A and B are shown apart, each in its own frame.
Chain A
Amino acid sequence: MTRTIRIKKGADIRLKGRPSPLVDRAPFATFFAVQPPNYLGIVPKLEVKEGVHVKAGSPLFHSKENTEVKFLSPVSGVVSQVLRGEKRRILAVVVESDGKNESQAFAPIDPEAEDRQTLVSAIAERGFFALIEQRPFATIANPSDVPRSIHVSGFDSAPLAADMEVVLAGREAAFQTGIHTLRKLANGSNVQLGLRAGQSFYNAIDGIDRYVFDGPHPTGNVGVQIHHTCPINKGEVAWTMHAEDVANLGETLTSGAYCAKRTIALGGSECEEPRHIQTLLGSAISSLVGSVNDEDVRIISGNPLTGDRTSNNGFLGGLHHQVCLLPEGNKPKFLLTDGWLGMGFDKFSLSKSYPTWLLPKSKEFIMDTCNNGEERAFVVTGQYEPVFPFDIFPVQLLKSILANDIDAMEKLGIYEVAPEDFALCEYACTSKIAVQSIIRSGLDMMKKELG
C-alpha cells in the first residue's frame, strides 16, 4: 500500500516560462564538459591530457580519495581543453565531439544475478558513483559505504522544473533495472520512491517502497521526502539518485554502452520557447539556448533556487536537469516605481506586504535576479518556518553554523539537510542572508570534523 504524506509547508513560486511537455532533440553540440566543481566532496585527479582521444565512457578523471569513483566522458572525441581556475583547480575537462559517438564497450550485466560487491565495482567503473549523492553532507556517495536506504524522488517540484513523466517516457525497462540495482546496493531492501498523485509512469515498477507526496515545493526534494519517511540519524548514510540517472544506470548496465542522457527543462521568462530538450550530460549551453545576451539574461544551469550561474560559453552541470533564462536584475530600482515602496502588482512575494495574494492563482510572474534589498542581520522571525518542511529550527541551525558550534549543529539536525532544502528560506529572507552557502559551509565543517 502506498502511504500519502501531506506537506503544507513550502511555496510554489509562479515563474513565467514553464516548459511545455514538448520534447526537442538538441542540435548535437560540439563541445561537452565534465566539471569537477559540480561534484561536491571530491578532489579530481586527471586521467587524460589535452589532445587525447576518448570514447563515450572513457574516464576523464577520478576522485583522489576513492580512486574507483570515475567521471566519464559523455561523448567520443578529443580532450580539447582542461580549464583551470585559481590555484590550478580544475574547473572543467572539455571534450570536442567527433560526432561518431563511439562508446567504450562494457560487459552487459544483469544486476539480479550479481552480488553486491561486483555490482558496486561495475557501477563505479561505469561512472555512476558520480551521480549518486549521499546524506549526510550532501556530497558524492562513497562506494565503500553500505547505505541504510536509497531514495529517488519521482518528481521535481522546483520552479520551471522538468516533468518527470516526460523525462522518463518510454524508459520503464531501464528504470526498472536501475531500481533493481539500487535495491541490491541497499542490501535488498529499503529503496524509496517519492511520487505525486496522478503519475502513471511508476505504476508498473516493482521492488520499491512508494510514498505519495502532496504539497508545494520543496516536497519534490529528496531530502524532504527522507525526512518524512525515515529521517537520518547520526551515523546513518542514505543515498539519493535522480530518477533519470536511475534509468541511465539501468540502460548502461543492460546495454554495455555508457548512457548519459539528459532530458532537461528549458524555461524562464527570457526563453522564447520553453520546452524539454534531449541532450547529454555536460553539453555546451549554447547548444541548448542558442545565442543569448548573457549581460542582460541570467543563464542558470539547474533550477532558479539552487542552480549555478553560467554563460554562453558554459556547460550543463553534471547533476543538473534544467536550464533557466531569467532577466538580469542589475539595474537600480526607484523606490516608488519598482523599489521597496512600490505597489508591486508585478512582483511575486510570499510576504503579504505585496499584493501577490490578491492576484489570481494562475498569474505567472517575471522575476529578475535582483537581490531586492541589501543584506542585514537576522531581524524578522517566523518567515523560514512556513517554507521549511522539516522538524528542525532553521534559524537556530544557521546561527550555530555562523558560530562554528559543531556540537549544536549536530544536535539541531544538520545531518538531515542539504543546502537545496533551505533554498526557499533564502528566497523568502527579508534580510537577504545567503542561507544556502551558510548551510554548505556548515556541512563542510561537519564533514571535516568527523573526518
Chain B
Amino acid sequence: MKAVHNLLDTIRPHFAEGGKLSKLWVVYDSLETFAFTPGHATKNGTHIRDGVDLKRTMFMVILALIPALMFGTWNQGHQYLLSIGEIAPTDPMMTALWDKLFIGAVKVLPLVVVSYGVGLGIEFLFAGMRGHSINEGYLVSGMLIPLIMPVDCPLWMVALAVAFAVIIAKEVFGGTGMNILNVALTARAFLFFAYPKQLSGEIWIHQVKASAEAGLLADGYTGATALGYLASTVGKGLDEPAVTGVMSMFGAQGMFSFSNSLLGLIPGSIGETSALAILLGAALLIWTGIGSWKIMSSFLAGGLVMGFLFNLLGLNAYMTLPAIHQVVMGGFMFGMVFMATDPVSAAQTERGKWIYGFFGGFLSIMIRVFNPAYPEGVMMAILFMNVMAPLIDHYVIEANIGKREKRALAAQSAPA
C-alpha cells in the first residue's frame, strides 16, 4: 500500500495550487482521503481521537440499506413476472431467482448510477467553488433516492430531482450538516409535485402499461400500490362492491395481505416494500447507535396510535385497516428507519427526538388516510416534521434554560 501512497504523493503536485490540474484538487483530495485516512495528527486539545469518522458512519448506513436494496432489486423482477403471469403468487420465492434479479438489476442499477453521478457531480462542483473538501453526506442520500423511486421512473426525472434536491435543499443552505429538509425526501417531493401525472398509476411495476396494452397482464394487476388502492375507497360506503373488492385484497389471501406486506412481496418504490429487510437495516443502525432508536420507536408508536384511533373511528374502509397492517405498508417503515432518523434534519435534542418521532408517525398515517390525493403521507409528514424540528428543539432547550434561571433566582434569594 506504500507504493500506492507514494504514487499519490508523486501526482499530488499536479493538483496542488499552481499545478496544471489544480481545478481538480477536490477530486484528488477526496480520492486520496477515501483510500488513506490522512496522517493528520492532533494538535492541542485531545491528543487521541476516536477511530470513527463520518466516512465510517455513512458507510454503516449504506450497509444498513443493503438488505432493502437487494430485496428491492429482486422484488422488481418478482412483481414484473407476477404481473405478466409468468409465475403465480403461490410459487416459492426462489423460482426464477436469476431472472428476477436480472430484471431488477437492469432497472435499479441505472437509477443508482444516475443518482450518484448527478448528485456527486454537483457536490464536487460546489466543493470546488467553495474550496471545501467533499462531505460524505451524499453517499447516503445518493443511495436513498433510487430506493424511494418507482421502478419505471424515467432517468431524466431522477436526474432532475437529484439536482433540485442537492442544490435547493442542501447546497444553498451550506452543504452537508446545514440542510433543513431531508435531501432524499426533497427529491421525491419534487417529483411528486412537479410530475404528478407521470408519477401516479402505472410506473410501480416494470412495464405494466406495455404489458396491459399487449394484453399480457394477469388478473388483478393494474400496477397500483396498496396505498393507491386504499385511497380509492375513501369517500365511499363501507359495503359498496368496489370497496369490499379492494378490502379483500388486504385479507389473509389477498395480494396485500399482512404477510405479503411485511415480507415486501407487493408493488411499490424499490426499497420501501419489505418491512423485514428494512428492519434488518434498522437493527444495524440501532446497534451501532447511528440511527436514533428513540426516533424510530416513537415514530412507530405514533403510527400505531393513529392507526388505532382510526380503527376506533372506523368511518371508512381505509380506517378499518388494522394499525399494524398500516405501518408495514407504503413508505412508513422506510421513512421511519432511514429518513426520519437523518440526524441533520431531525430534532437534535434527546427529548425532542421522542416528540419529533411520535408526530412523524402520527401524521404519516393521518395524511395517508385523510387525504387520498397524497397516498404517501410519510413523505409529507417527515418533511413537515423536518421543518418543525428546530421548534421542538427550541422548546426543549428553553425548558433547560428556564431551569437554570430558576436555580439562579433561588440562589439569589437564599440567605448567603
* Residue positions of A touching B, CB distance < 8 A: 13, 15, 159, 231, 233-236, 298, 300, 304-309, 324, 326, 328-335, 337-341, 344, 347-354, 367-374, 376-383, 385, 391-393, 395-396, 411-413, 419, 423, 426-432, 434-437
Q: For residue B402, which residue of chain A has the nearest CB?
A: A411
Instruction: Indicate if the CB atoms of B40 and A374 lie closer than 8 Å.
Output: yes
Task: Sample 19 A-B pairs with CB under 8 A, ordered by A number.
Answer: A13-B48, A233-B408, A234-B408, A305-B47, A306-B45, A329-B42, A332-B39, A339-B36, A341-B56, A369-B41, A374-B40, A377-B178, A382-B348, A391-B400, A392-B400, A396-B397, A423-B46, A431-B54, A432-B53
Which residues does chain A contribute within 8 Å of B52, judged by CB atoms? 349-351, 353-354, 372-373, 430
In the bound assembly, the distance between CA atoms of A352 and B64 in angstroms comes to: 14
Contacts A341-B56, A427-B49 aside, 10 further interface pairs with beta carbons under 8 A come to A236-B411, A326-B48, A329-B42, A333-B37, A339-B35, A340-B53, A349-B51, A370-B37, A377-B174, A412-B401
**Which of B45, B288, B407 interacts with A352 by CB under 8 Å?**
B288
**Which of B43, B45, B135 interacts with A376 by CB under 8 Å?**
B135
In the bound assembly, the distance between CA atoms of A392 and B46 in angstroms comes to: 21
Instruction: Indicate if the CB atoms of A332 and B54 lie closer than 8 Å.
Output: no
Residues of B112-160 contacting chain A, CB below 8 A: 133, 135-137
Which residues does chain A contribute within 8 Å of B196, judged by CB atoms? none
In the bound assembly, the distance between CA atoms of A113 and B299 in angstroms comes to: 66
Which residues does chain B contribute within 8 Å of A235, judged by CB atoms? 408
Asked if B211 is at the interface of the complex by the 8 Å CB criterion, the answer is no
In the bound assembly, the distance between CA atoms of A354 and B408 in angstroms comes to: 42
Q: Known contacts A334-B36, A380-B57, A412-B401: does B348 contact A344 (CB below 8 Å)?
A: no
CB-defined interface of B67-83 with A at 8 Å, one 1/0 digit per residue? 00000000000000000
* Residue positions of B touching A, CB distance < 8 A: 1, 4-5, 33-57, 59-60, 133, 135-137, 174-178, 287-290, 292, 343-344, 346, 348-350, 353, 393, 397, 400-401, 403-405, 407-408, 411-412
Instruction: Indicate if the CB atoms of A332 and B44 lie closer than 8 Å.
Output: no
In the bound assembly, the distance between CA atoms of A412 and B405 in angstroms comes to: 10
Q: Known contacts A334-B1, A340-B55: does B292 contact A382 (CB below 8 Å)?
A: yes
In the bound assembly, the distance between CA atoms of A430 and B36 in angstroms comes to: 17
Q: Known contacts A377-B135, A382-B292, A430-B54: does B46 contact A436 (CB below 8 Å)?
A: yes
**Which of B43, B56, B401 interacts with A340 by CB under 8 Å?**
B56
Instruction: Indicate if the CB atoms of B50 and A349 lie closer than 8 Å.
Output: yes
Which residues does chain B contribute within 8 Å of A300, judged by CB atoms? 47
SS class of chain A's interface: helix, strand, loop or mixed? loop
Instruction: Indicate if the CB atoms of A335 and B35 lie closer than 8 Å.
Output: yes
**Which of B5, B39, B57, B353 interacts with A353 by CB under 8 Å?**
B57
Which residues does chain A contribute within 8 Å of B136, judged by CB atoms? 376
Chain B nearest Cβ from A444, distance in angstroms: 15
Instruction: Indicate if the CB atoms of A374 and B53 lie closer than 8 Å.
Output: yes
In the bound assembly, the distance between CA atoms of A365 and B37 in angstroms comes to: 19
Instruction: Indicate if the CB atoms of A329 and B41 lie closer than 8 Å.
Output: yes
In the bound assembly, the distance between CA atoms of A381 and B54 in angstroms comes to: 12
Instruction: Indicate if the CB atoms of A231 and B407 lie closer than 8 Å.
Output: yes
Instruction: Indicate if the CB atoms of A391 and B175 lie closer than 8 Å.
Output: no
In the bound assembly, the distance between CA atoms of A304 and B44 in angstroms comes to: 10
Q: For residue B353, which residue of chain A has the nearest CB?
A: A382
Instruction: Indicate if the CB atoms of B176 and A377 lie closer than 8 Å.
Output: yes
Which residues does chain A contribute within 8 Å of B135, judged by CB atoms? 376-377
Which residues does chain B contribute within 8 Å of A385, judged by CB atoms? 350
Which residues does chain A contribute within 8 Å of B56, judged by CB atoms? 340-341, 351, 353
**Which of A304, A339, A381, A392 interacts with B48 by CB under 8 Å?**
A304
Q: For residue A231, which residue of chain B has the nearest CB?
A: B407
In the bound assembly, the distance between CA atoms of A412 and B399 in angstroms comes to: 11
In the bound assembly, the distance between CA atoms of A432 and B42 in angstroms comes to: 10
Q: Which 8 A-B pairs have the closest CB atoms?
A: A373-B53, A377-B177, A233-B408, A332-B36, A351-B52, A347-B51, A339-B37, A333-B37
